[in-house]
Structure 1
Amino acid sequence: MRVLIVDGANVVGSRPNGWWRDRPGAAKRLHESIGAVDLGYDQVVLVLEGDAKRGQQVGEDGAVHTVHASGSGDDAIVEQVRTRNADGDTVVVVTADRQLRERVEAAGGSSVGPSWLLAQTS
């Protein structure tokens, strides 16, 4: 299975559009935008952390599966990559965070930047 994991905080933070005034609203808008298009993956996982978790419930909602990080969003993403890679899935993470990209690669995944995702959803 091909799995796309979205670093919600990093993607939302890649645009200076006032998201910091309404983190839950920004998370909800991101969820809606990625759920509205076919990204070419069997499953899309949106990882939310902190205050953004109030913007979207955990679980399946249409084409998007939302996960709430209990602590660090990066740690939750790496754990998702490890688990899915162990299951034989091909995993791609959307993030611009250089350290997270290195951790994702070490866990068996690959990554693309937020601009790729934002171009798909615009």
Structure 2
Amino acid sequence: MRALIVDGANVVGSRPDGWWRDRAGAAGRLWVRLAAADLPHEEVVVVLEGAARKGVPAGREGRVLTIHAPGSGDDAIVEAARTRAGDGWDVTVVTADRGLQGRVEAVDATVVRPSWLLDRL
């Protein structure tokens, strides 16, 4: 099984399209694109934090699972990666955050940059 874990804040923030004026709306638009995308993953997990959480309810819809980070989004991403990798899943995390990259690689996840994902949406 393959899981794609998306650092919502990092992906949204990777393109200067005015997302900072409406973080919840930007998160919602990303979610819609993820739900419609033809990605080779059985599960897509999008982690949202702060004001972005208002843009998408937490929970599962189809193969997309939305997690509202209660604190650090990075901690929630690492936990999601650790859990799935521990269950034998092939885990890919989408982020450009170097600190987060090292943390998820330590739990056997692969990292791709936001441009990789945005090119596929």
TM-score (norm 2): 0.97
The DSSP-based 3-state class of the residue aligned with 1:4 is strand
User: Match of 1:49, as an amino acid?
Assistant: E
In structure 1, what residue type is equivalent to 2:6? V
1:81 aligned residue:
81
CA displacement 1:42-89 (0-9 Å, x = unmatched): 100000000000000011123311001010000000011111111111
Q: CA deviation at 1:4?
A: 0.3
Gaps of 5+ in 2: none
Structure 1 residue aligned with 2:69: 69
Residue in 1 that maps onto 2:2: 2
What is the alpha-carbon distance in structure 2 between the residues aligned to residue 26 and residue 83 of structure 1?
A: 27
| 1:25 is the counterpart of 2:55 | no
> Which residue of the partner structure matches residue 120 of structure 1?
120
Between the aligned partners of 2:91 and 2:62, the Cα distance in structure 1 is 20
Distance 1:21 1:35 in 2: 23
Give me the CA root mean square deviation.
0.7
Q: Which runs of 4+ in 1 moved over 2 A?
A: none
Instruction: For 1:100, give the aligned amino acid.
Output: L
Deviations 1:77-107 (A, max 9, x none): 0011111111111100000111111101011
Query: How many Å separate the matches in 2 of 1:118 and 1:83?
Result: 25
* Residues 1:55 and 2:49 are matched in the alignment: no
Query: Aligned AA for 1:81?
Result: A
Give the share of equivalent positions with the same residue, in percent.
62
Alpha-carbon offset, residue 31 of structure 1: 0.1
Q: Aligned equivalents of 2:62 and 2:80: distance in 1?
A: 20
Q: Which amino acid in 1 is paired with 2:66?
A: T
CA deviations over 1:21-56 (Å, ceiling 9, x no partner): 000000000000111111110100000000000000
